[in-house]
């Protein structure tokens, strides 16, 4: 059977935009290609541009790249736990608190990009290791029911969401 797009009801409503933003096709192939898109985008970002914020109080480009890594780590961990049949409820996380604690602007763009690439490679290794039974496992995350097979789509759509924001709100300000 393989990995198939999750159906509504398999994931919390808050993940609907991410699942919807995931392109059609094999999600693992798309995740690999998206890693290349992120690399191509951030390889051209200077250190000064990395600290750019399109408005006061918004994340810098470096913060955003760190957020992609942090969120994907958490999504992959949830997938691992649920895919292995662990029914222990998993907590949520506060992304803004993580952004402050990460102090991404203190790191180079190259360091943050290498971290994202490593996280994505690890996510792909995990996702490729799961079988049909694992993908169908159901668990609880942030108090909501979700199946393991949702997480590759959530990772894909979450990153796509932020790449769109970068294109629309950050890049015009860098020119």
pLDDT tens-place string over residues 135-155 = 999 999 999 999 999 999 999
Whose tokens are 């992959």? That residue is 76
pLDDT given for residue 174 in this prediction:
87
pLDDT band at 1 (very low <50, low <70, confident <90, very high): low
Positive or negative, the Cα torsion across 115, 119, 121, 122? positive
pTM score: 0.96
Positive or negative, the Cα torsion across 17, 170, 56, 52? positive
Average pLDDT estimate for 106-124 = 98
pLDDT tens-place string over residues 78-95 = 999 999 999 999 999 999
Measure the CA angle with vertex 71, ends 139 and 128; round to 5°.
65
CATH architecture type of domain 27-174: Up-down Bundle (1.20)
pLDDT tens-place string over residues 29-76 = 999 999 999 999 999 999 999 999 999 999 999 999 999 999 999 999
Extents of the domains making up the chain: 27-174
Measure the CA angle with vertex 157, ends 129 and 41; round to 5°.
100
């Amino acid at each position: 059977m393989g990995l198939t797009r999750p159906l509504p009801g398999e994931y919390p409503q808050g993940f609907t935009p991410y699942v919807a933003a995931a392109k059609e096709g094999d999600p693992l192939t798309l995740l690999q290609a998206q890693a290349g898109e992120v690399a191509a985008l951030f390889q051209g970002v200077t250190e000064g541009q990395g600290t750019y914020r399109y408005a006061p109080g918004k994340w810098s480009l470096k913060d955003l790249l760190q957020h992609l890594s942090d969120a994907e780590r958490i999504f992959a961990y949830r997938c691992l736990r649920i895919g292995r049949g662990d029914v222990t409820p998993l907590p949520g996380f506060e992304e803004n608190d993580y952004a402050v604690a990460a102090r991404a602007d203190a790191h180079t763009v190259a360091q943050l990009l290498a971290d994202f690439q490593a996280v994505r490679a690890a996510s792909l290794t995990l996702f490729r290791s799961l079988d049909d039974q694992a993908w169908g496992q159901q668990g609880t995350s942030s108090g909501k029911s979700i199946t393991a097979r949702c997480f590759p789509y959530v990772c894909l759509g979450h990153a796509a969401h932020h790449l769109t924001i970068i294109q629309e709100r950050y890049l015009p300000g860098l020119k």
